[in-house]
Amino acid sequence: ESSSNYGEELEHTITGIEPGAGITVTTEKAIEEYDSLNGWTLEQSSTAAMVKTLEEAINNEEPIIVTGWNPHWKFAKFDNLKYLDDPENVYGAEEDIRTLARTGLEDDKPNAFKLLDQFEWSVEDMESIMYESQDTGEDIDVIAKQWVEDNEDKVSDWTDGVEDVDGVEIELVSTPWDSERASSSVLAEVMTQKGFNVTVTPVDVAVVFESVSGGDADATAAAWLPLTHADFYEDVKDDVVDLGANLTGAKIGLVVPEYMDIDSIEDLKA
């Protein structure tokens, strides 16, 4: 007896996040792809609302299905979450968070380009900032600055061969999620220490890709590829410079509490 009637109990609703997120687009694809999700809808709201709904369900041991991803602190805060298997591979396997630069940045601002190209860290690094912010209530920006101070070894690899500059302007675009607030804050701090005048603007995913490809922004460290942001990337890929992964091992999917007796998206019933 796997599939119970979670469909009825949940009124065939998946608890989602912001309409502009890559995971929202991907989940609409999953709903089309899986017979077991026939008739389900994705309720879009915000990450904060999703986490609140998840917390309430867990407190009451009620079923819930959310759109979830790593790195994120929800897996640490609620230690009983699992990804549903995705046999159709709609959400893909692990993916990268990549850095993209505008065409021409290498010629215009070679030291910025070099630093951005050398920026890379791990899931654990990023999570340490997110968890600490979550635990202490301190802003991610503040924790990120401290992280830079405490991790000279890593930072010195990123700045290897990068010359100090005198107020060169750098415009980074990013997304509003904690993961990208962490990476952008760390990058901004390191670049500021090298003498750059850094602006970070959080925008919708679509605007991240439009502004880097259009040259309005210099770069982003917020591209989840090859999958989560595939549609956005596909449109602009010939007009951006891909600097490769700044983090490997990111993941997205449908997430449920472990007490639900299903393991796969296919275990749901229409």
User: Where on the chain is the footprint of ligand PBE (CB under 6 A)?
Assistant: 17, 21-23, 69, 175, 177, 179-180, 205, 224, 228, 252
- CB of residue 103 to ligand PBE, shortest distance in Å: 23
d(CA 162, CA 193) in angstroms, rounded, equals 11
Pick between residue 6 and residue 233 the one whose CB is nearest to ligand PBE: 233
d(CA 223, CA 245) in angstroms, rounded, equals 9
What single letter denotes the amino acid at residue 33? Answer: E
Residue of this chain nearest to ligand PBE (CB atom):
22
Pick between residue 95 and residue 111 the one whose CB is nearest to ligand PBE: 95
Pick between residue 162 and residue 227 the one whose CB is nearest to ligand PBE: 227
CA atoms within 13 A on the CB side of 146: 11
- CB of residue 141 to ligand PBE, shortest distance in Å: 17
DSSP secondary structure letters along 199-235? EEEE--HHHHHHHHHTTSSSEEEEEEETTTTHHHHHH
Pick between residue 22 and residue 257 the one whose CB is nearest to ligand PBE: 22
- CB of residue 242 to ligand PBE, shortest distance in Å: 17
Pick between residue 40 and residue 224 the one whose CB is nearest to ligand PBE: 224
- Structure tokens of 84? 């549903």
> What is the DSSP secondary structure assignment for residue 16, as one 8-state letter?
-
- CB of residue 205 to ligand PBE, shortest distance in Å: 5
- CB of residue 17 to ligand PBE, shortest distance in Å: 6
235-268 exposure pattern, b = at least 16 Cβ within 10 A, e = fewer: ebeeebbebebbbeebbbbbbbbeebebebbbbb
Structural contact between residues 2 and 267, judged by C-beta atoms closer than 8 angstroms:
yes
- CB of residue 224 to ligand PBE, shortest distance in Å: 5
Pick between residue 67 and residue 111 the one whose CB is nearest to ligand PBE: 67
E strand residue ranges, the chain: 13-15, 41-43, 66-70, 81-83, 95-102, 169-174, 197-202, 219-225, 240-257
Pick between residue 165 and residue 203 the one whose CB is nearest to ligand PBE: 203
Q: Is the dihedral of CA 257, 261, 266, 270 positive or negative?
A: negative
- CB of residue 42 to ligand PBE, shortest distance in Å: 12
d(CA 18, CA 3) in angstroms, rounded, equals 28
